[in-house]
Amino acid sequence: MVDVLAATGTLWNDLVGEEAGRQLIVPRIVSPYRKPFTCGNNIPVSPELECRLVPPPEIVILPEMWLAPTDDLHERYGDVKEWIKHCYQEGSSIYSACSGSVLLASTGLLDGRPATSHWGYQDLFRTSFPEVQFDPAPNLLIADSAGRIITAGGTTSWHDLALHIIARHCSPGEALRIAKVYLLKWHGEGQLPFQSLVRRQSHADSVVRKAEEWLALHFKESQVVAGVITACGIPERTLKRRFKAATGATLIEHVQNLRIEKAKNLLENENEAAEEISAMVGYDNAAFFRRLFKRRTGLTPGAYRRMFRPVVSANGLRTEA
C-alpha cells in the first residue's frame, strides 16, 4: 500500500519517458510510538510519526492486522482509537483494509453503518459488533453519504481500496495509470467466490453441536431437516430456534451451505457436469441448484469451475486456471 500510494504522479511518467511528474500522495506510517516493531510473519515496520503528535491528515488508512477471528479489540489500542475518532471529527477520510475494519468497528464509527472485511470475520462482527451492518460479499463498502468512511474486504482487496483512494483524491486517470504499472486488478466478482460457507462456530450449545455433526455426515439426504430433528430428540421449533441463536444461520441455510461447499469442491476437482453435481449434493432440481449456487458464490457453476479449477501443464505441474 505504501509503495503504490507513493508512486502516484511520478512512476508512470518515469516508465514511459514523459516529463517528470509530481508526487501526489505522501504516505507516512503512524503508530502510538516510533519504536520499530515486527508484525505478522516477522515483517519489520518502522513508524515515522506518533499518533498523539500528528494533526488530522486528509486520509487515514487502517491496514490489515494479524488478528484471530475472535479478537474484537475492545480492550486494546485505546489511544489509537481515540486518534482515529478525532481525525474523523476533524474531517479526515477513514479507510480500512481487510481486518483493519475490526479496529475501525471497535471505535464505534461503524455503528449503524454498512461495512465489510475479510469473510472470515463475519461471525466476529455478528457477535461483537451487532450494530454494524456487516456484508461479507463486496470488496468495498461506503459507510456514509459523504464517502468519508470506506471498508475493504479480504486481503488483496487493498488493491481496490488503493485505486479508489487514488481515483478520489488524485484523479481516475492516475488510478488507471497506477493499475497498469502495478498490474492491479479490480475484483469485480467480490468476495463471495472465495469465502468458505461452512465454518465451525464457537458456542456452548451441545445439542446444536450434535446437529452440526449429524448434518456434516447426512446433508445430502432428501429429508435432512426431519432427520436431524429426530437425531437430536427435541421439538422442531426448539431446535430451529437454538440453531439460529448459536450459529447465526437457520437449519436450512446451514444445509444449503454444506451442499454448496461440497459442490464447490467437486467443481474444483472432478469432471462431472453441473447437473450431475446437483444430484450428488442432494438437489434433484438442477435449475434450483444453479440459482442457489449463484446466490451463495456470486458465480454460476461453470464460471466457478473456470475460476478455480487447477489445470495440468505440459510438464505435469498443477497450476491455477
- The whole-number pLDDT of residue 198 equals 72
- Mean pLDDT comparison of 18-22, 201-205, 276-280, highest-scoring range: 276-280
74-81 contacts at long range (C-beta below 8 A, 24 or more positions apart):
74/106, 74/128, 77/32, 77/103, 77/106, 79/32, 79/51, 79/52, 80/32, 80/51, 81/106, 81/107
Sequence-distant (6+) residues with CB within 8 A of 189 are 298, 299, 307
**Predicted confidence band of residue 243 (pLDDT cuts 50, 70, 90):** very high
Dihedral sign computed on CA atoms, order 247, 249, 252, 257: negative
CB 109 within 8 A of CB 84: yes
Cβ–Cβ under 8 Å, residues 109 and 88: yes
Q: What are the domain boundaries of the chain?
A: 2-194, 206-312
Residue with cell 488508512: 61
Residue with cell 445439542: 207
The answer to whether the beta carbons of residues 208 and 246 sit under 8 Å apart is yes
166 in helix, strand or coil?
helix
What CATH architecture is 206-312?
Answer: Orthogonal Bundle (1.10)
Mean pLDDT for the chain overall: 88
Q: Model confidence over 141-181: pLDDT tens digits?
A: 889 888 899 999 887 888 989 988 998 888 878 888 898 88
CATH assignment, 2-194:
3.40.50.880
Confidence of residue 194 (pLDDT cuts 50, 70, 90): low
Q: Are strands 140-142 and 149-152 parallel, antiparallel or unpaired?
A: antiparallel
Q: Helical H runs in 22-115?
A: 78-89, 100-106
pTM for this entry: 0.67
pLDDT-derived band of residue 312, with 50, 70 and 90 as boundaries? very low
